[in-house]
Structure 1
Amino acid sequence: MHQLPIFLNLTGRSVVLVGEGEAADAKARLIERAGGRVVSAWEQGATIAFVALDDETEARAAAERLRAHGLLVNVVDRPALCDFTTPAIVDRAPVTIAVGTGGASAGLAKAVRQRIEALLPSRLGALAQALHAARAAMKARWPDAASRRRAIDAALAPGGALDPLDDRAAERIDDWLAAPAEVGASSRLETVRLAGPDPDELTLRAARLLGEADHIFHTPAVPAAILDRARADAVRQVADAPPEAPPPGLVLWVTLGGEGS
């Protein structure tokens, strides 16, 4: 990862935009769409800045002036001069998906965004809002945080009661909450044998399991770069063999190459 993806709350905040023309107009629409207030020069309390000038010397000078005020600056179409880049955006408010290439190719980011747009139903945002509204009911139904997380993960899984790709999932929240409770907390042990130490070589299955696991048992040879792909709150434990009595939830046994077979 070459950049840190973040989502800024710009509601009611000033954003500096230097420049005119189509590129500047596009940035102004983006800022206003996010609730920001466009200003043409630095002012106290400004959050970030955009520079949309054709002349590179002028663009560089404007960026340096704004950075002197402590602002992070995006210089349109000049990645080398940028402190941050703006991604291609899939908007299913309040769900927002950003696709970035670090300025390498805006066309590629756009193409990926269009593929994702075609996959996601228009009412995905309604599902997010329904889940938010049901937070108190979910805590009452599953007081234990781990049990609650497993229930939500199962509901949101492909084919689950609240499958995000189902356009009517938001309408099923009440039925899901009212469904009979499962008896006891079950365990599921999965084995992931890595082909190598590079996290970019993870299979789709391995990446998905790492992102869902509650407990990860792994040999000492499994590198930290692989374990970093797991959920931050997943319990990690170095071991020489998979657990004989796996704890509740999704449990992974991760090995590198042919070891620990």
Structure 2
Amino acid sequence: MLHNEQRLSVFPAFFRVKGRHALVVGSGTEALAKIRLLTQTLAETVAVAPDPEPQLYAYLKEIVGMGGPIRWLDAPFDIAMLENAVLAFAATGDLKQDHAVATAARQMRVPINVVDRPELCDFFTPALVNRAPVAVAIGTEGSGPVLAQFLRLRIETLLYPSIGRLARFAARFRDKVETHIVKGKNQREFWRAFFSGPVAGAIFRGDEAAAKIHVEKLLTGHQEENNTIRFLWCGHGVVDWLTLGGQRALMEADIIIYDTDVGSDILGMARRDACLFSVPSLFCTASELAEKFCRKGKQVLRLVTNEEQLATEVKILGIHDIEVEIIPYLPAAVLGRASYLSDMLGSGKAA
């Protein structure tokens, strides 16, 4: 049983808004923020903005002029505007006006959010990571919107920009999977292979034709070998200097083979269920072990701290027909220069 402090006072859910209208009442920057949030959905946004501030006025004029999904009402709020609304936002900045909008919304049984007034809210708007149709919403029950935005930025870096394209591609095969693969474990294994194997890789590269071929192989029960080993140079030893591709590779790897001088902070970014092997403790070479796991269909990541060693192992694996992907990284020369400049600035000197 959870203690009260471990339980949410809200229930996370997603509203169906397609084809329905959502009301935003307000004429300033807070209203603009809510309008921009709503335009990421398929709702019709109704902006009740009498005498809008310059920034909001310019935005509404531009979007409405382009025929965008916004209806602008340059008039005072009236309860009739809430008719058939799916939800509403009060963002006037005036407590009395916001309270009146909230009261009217409850009379019309329309969920209401009052900006900066959590005690008046029926729901809270989360920080949103939008990879439609994939969405990640981060909420703090109104207690820490800055924290939610901070977490959103962290999550943004972890998700491929094309993850939504992968989800849409998967939706096209739902019915086929239902008719060709037994429900339960078999379907779970299919989708696990779909989202973590060659199908996903092809979509992320923009090669839908190759992705279709991989899907057909999965549907016929042909489990493809993962013949690609990823390499990531991390001789700098600093987590913040990893590229986004490097961070994702660490979180996607099943097997990580690392040099002993790779920092613990970098290794700490690996998945909890990933297997980690230190190179000097091996009874075979790093390239031999990487090839062994790769042949078993595992996603292998090799972390190296020496660029010459990286080049050598890539050549060895090429001889054995193992494909290699070198994750883009900041070269040592660039990082060395950055460190030099940082030292100089820290000492008050100009480089």
- TM-score normalised by length of structure 1: 0.62
Instruction: Say how many residue pairs are matched.
Output: 184
Matches within 5 A, 1:48-127: 48-127=87-166
Give 1 or 2 for the bigger CA radius of gyration.
Answer: 2
Give runs of aligned pairs for residues 29-40 of structure 1, distance below 5 A.
Answer: 29-39=36-46, 40=48
Counterpart contact for 2:82–2:108, Cα < 8 Å: no
Specify the alignment match of 1:45 in structure 2: 84
Partner of 1:12, secondary structure, is coil
1:87-137 deviations in Å (ceiling 9; x for gaps) = 111111111111111111111111111111111111111110111111233
Q: Which residue of 1 aligns with 2:22?
A: 15
The 5 A counterparts of 1:57-206 are 57-157=96-196, 160-162=197-199, 167-168=204-205, 171=208, 172-179=211-218, 181=221
User: Is contact 1:49-1:74 (8 Å) kept?
Assistant: yes
In structure 1, C-alpha distance between the alignment counterparts of 2:173 and 2:206, rounded to whole Å: 13
Indicate how the Cα distance of structure 1 residues 59 and 12 shifts in structure 2: closer, same or farther if over 3 A, else same.
same
Counterparts of 1:22 and 1:65, CA distance in 2: 23
Asked whether the equivalents of residues 199 and 214 of structure 2 are also in contact (C-alpha less than 8 Å), the reply is no
The residue that corresponds to 1:27 in the other structure is 34
- 2: CA distance between counterparts of 1:81 and 1:44? 20
Aligned counterparts of 1:174 and 1:63: Cα–Cα separation in 2? 54
Post-superposition offset of 1:173: 4.7
CA 1:73–1:176: 2 relative to 1, 3 Å? same
In structure 2, the partner of 1:201 is: none
Unaligned runs of 5+ in 2: 1-7, 49-77, 224-270, 274-351
Mapped partners of 1:102, 1:162: distance in 2 = 38
CA offset at residue 6 of structure 1? 1.6
Any conservation in 1 of the 2:92–2:98 contact (CA below 8 Å)? yes
Percent identity over the alignment? Answer: 33
Measured at CA, do residues 127 and 25 of structure 1 come closer, stay the same or move farther in structure 2, by a change above 3 Å? same
Structure whose residues are more often helix by fraction: 2
Preserved CA contact (<8 Å) 1:17 1:24: yes
Is residue 26–residue 90 contact of structure 2 (8 Å, CA) maintained in 1? Answer: yes
1:208-227 alignment runs, 5 A limit: none
CA–CA separation in structure 1 for the residues paired with 2:165 and 2:18: 21
Which piece of structure 1 moves more, 80-89 or 133-142?
Answer: 133-142
Q: Deviations over 1:35-89 (max 9, x none)?
A: 2223334342111110002222332222112211111110011112111011111
1:37 partner letter? E
Pick which of 60-69 and 27-36 moved more: 27-36
Gaps of 5+ in 1: 184-203, 207-261
Question: Counterpart of 2:10 in structure 1: which amino acid?
Answer: Q
